[in-house]
Chain A
């Protein structure tokens, strides 16, 4: 045992470091752990452990050591510490991590998607839609990740589906609108015809442009008509609102509205506009209900007009 006087302290430290690394390489780290276990553990048939230094590299970083001299005392030892067992363990961890990053992103962004895109207002949240778009896995090979060059080209089927979904919702909206229109007109006409025939005389259930005639008319028949009219309107509008919210066709209709589109465009420049979008969507929904009421009132006006013209 002798120190070589010609070696500097720095050189000595470096050689010692390399010697320590060499003793951990090529599966020796695991064998050291197992030696300690074998000699000291009270449970002899303990299953063998594996060192963190001997974890299998998962990617292409695993390089062969070639014909490097593995003698720890040899000065030409630099190549040795590049073996997968020592420094590459870090790289392999990093590499596997990098491979997992896409998976991680998918998990992160996938967690942000609130629903299936058809749940009314939730499907209108642009961030949710964006997150959903990001979370779509690459088509086919899986190499086309959500963060690859063109994320929008990742899933044409998905976009086609979304397009069809919007069309379907619009169609359903129209169907329901027509059904309600039929019910409304039927109820209104029934209400009108009922009062027209029950009351019988031509003065009690008629409109007039002369105030003295209007004052002659008993109030009760008209009040009965309008009570029934209001009840029918309340029931119809409430049902329409309930169905519209439940089935989600309100949101489809409002998203196509030019006010909402204008707000969307405006918020690209002025992000604060985004907060008004929710209010606009809600107001547009109420506007649709108001339109129902106004439409029915118009019909009543027309019916009374016809009655007053034809009745005279």
Chain B
């Protein structure tokens, strides 16, 4: 099963108060040296078929019309590497056994 990941981030010019709050909390927790934090969303889409160009075009349409609001957000669509996906599947199975 192919997995496609859609990352959605606020556009750079849009204020991200949540990211700012996280960034401001870091020194208090003892983590220095982080200049900026932006918070976004990650969607994992497991396809029934292969992640071919037709499937990716469809997912770009889903991302542009629904997962992201392109007035304020940008999105990136990428196919997750099979090795990574396989290990993710194994983890899921382990989780199920427990």
Q: Tell me whether A and B are bound partners.
A: no
Q: Which residues of A contact B (CB under 8 A)?
A: none
